[in-house]
Amino acid sequence: MTKFELILMIEALIETNYNAWSIGTTNRPVEREPELKRPKNWHVWEADSEDTAMDIEELFIRKGCKGVYGDVGKFIFIFSA
């Protein structure tokens, strides 16, 4: 997905409650969810590149989402606290 499409989809889910959500990137979305103890409201999308995923992660962290570190990749995921 393009950067613009992903931002719109994430904004639609988060609305304005950024601090209730966490965001991260990975190349292992299937393994990452159980590593995070199957969080509530798990959503994952494939960005068109790793750079796009990182840009989106940084954007939403600046807006108030919590960052989930320890992995990188072109899949971006969010979940609520």
The pLDDT tens digits of the residues spanning 71-81 come to 999 999 999 96
Q: Domain segments of the chain: what residues?
A: 3-80
pTM to 2 decimals? Answer: 0.94
CA 61 from centroid of its chain's CA atoms: 10
* Mean pLDDT, the chain, whole residue set: 96
Residues 6+ apart with CB under 8 A from 42: 33, 77, 78, 79
pLDDT attached to residue 28: 96
Query: pLDDT tens digits, residue range 26-44?
Result: 999 999 999 999 998 999 9
